[in-house]
Amino acid sequence: MGSGWKVGRVAGIDLAIHPSWLVIAFLLTFSLADAFFPRLIPGWTTGQYWLVGVGTALLFFASVLAHEFSHAIVARRLGLKVAGITLFIFGGATSIETDSRSARDEALIALAGPVASLVIGGVLLAIGALVTQPEVSAIVGWLGIINVVLGAFNLVPGYPMDGGRVLRAILWRVRGDPLTATRQAAMVGRVIGYLMVAGGIYWALRSRDIGSGLWLALVGWFLATSAEATMQQAGIERSLSGVRVRDAMDATPAAISPNESVADLVSERMLRGDDRSFLVRHPDGGLAGMVTLGDVRRLPRESWADRRVTDIMTRYGDLATIGPDEPLADALRLIQEREVGQLPVIGEEARQPLGIVTRSGILRLIDARLKLGV
């Protein structure tokens, strides 16, 4: 999932909210406050319905976070690096920076979320059955049902849903090739997604519950497009199999001093050559950071003459970097995750760059390899 608003950090894991989450948060709260609770518990004021609706919606999203945290905790226990969790319109997404080392690990990480939701749902349903107060029973019961539905739905074998990742793990174990398993699981996910789209449209046309039908179709469309993107990514990774960063990096990238003025950077470098990004290096050759056209654009033009490169650059500690012997597919994945155009290539000696690998350079190499069939 794309970037969102960071709202906190729990157990070393960043929590973020994607703007699309606001849509589902409002729709869910409105549904609870305007329809569900008034029908189930008559006699309250509008304010009471909305207050309980907001609280129940927040508890539901807390259970979604519990689902995603289960993925993250298992992944970390298996030695994988978890970048963060993002809530968005279709639920949540856990970003894991490194791939699973085995089919078993993949299955354990994928199953952790649905199991957590099913357990939470079962416990809440049991509590709801024991509680005698109807208002509390209604809230707890609804949360129990929705968690069971969340856990069961995520087990649908359509990649990239959790069930699809379990299917990928099974195919990986049977075939011994994770890329082939990814592609085949994504193909199943695409088929299931389009079936959900068709089913949702049929539901909307043949019943009075138009909203639920359209929502099912929208979820199916998201699943189908995500599966297609996964298939394309698997094809790209296949084309880059065995290719290392050093095979595609520019070993003589453009560099600049941190003390050069921004005005000189623009007039002498950016407007007189093809380079739009520059390594910023100290006199001893050590890497201080990187400056790009985007950094310059964020600075008012009237300040160019008075500001130095060091004032606007991304400093070394904040840079995403990669080693020369890392798979080139990992470099492309990191570029996409960090939403940058290039990565400095750093060797064993800290701060001493060996070159730079760019998104455009990787894409040109992919295009050439696909056309040549290598």
The structure tokens listed for 99 are 């791939």
Handedness of CA 117, 122, 124, 128 (dihedral sign): positive
Cis previous bond, 160, omega within 30: yes
Question: Residues 193, 122: contact at Cβ < 8 Å?
Answer: no
Q: What stretches of the chain show up as alpha helix (H) in DSSP?
A: 21-31, 37-40, 46-77, 103-130, 134-153, 162-175, 178-206, 210-239, 262-264, 293-297, 309-312, 328-338, 359-372
Handedness of CA 203, 205, 209, 213 (dihedral sign): positive
Report the relative pairing of strands 13-17 and 82-88 from DSSP bridges.
Answer: parallel
> Of residues 68, 97, 302, 349, which has the active-site annotation?
68
Q: What stretches of 265-372 show up as alpha helix (H) in DSSP?
A: 293-297, 309-312, 328-338, 359-372
Place of tokens 């407007």: 271
Neighbour count for residue 239 (Cβ, 10 Å): 19
Alpha carbons 196 and 189: distance in angstroms, whole number: 10
Q: Which of 114, 105, 112, 139 is nearest to 124 (CA)?
A: 139
- SS3 label, residue 126: helix
Cα–Cα–Cα angle for 330, 335, 336, rounded to 5 degrees: 100
Chain centroid, CA 208 distance in Å: 35
- Dihedral in degrees, nearest 10, Cα atoms 254, 257, 259, 263: -20
Please indicate whether residue 68 is annotated as part of the active site: yes
Question: Residues 346, 352: contact at Cβ < 8 Å?
Answer: yes
| Active site amino acids | 68
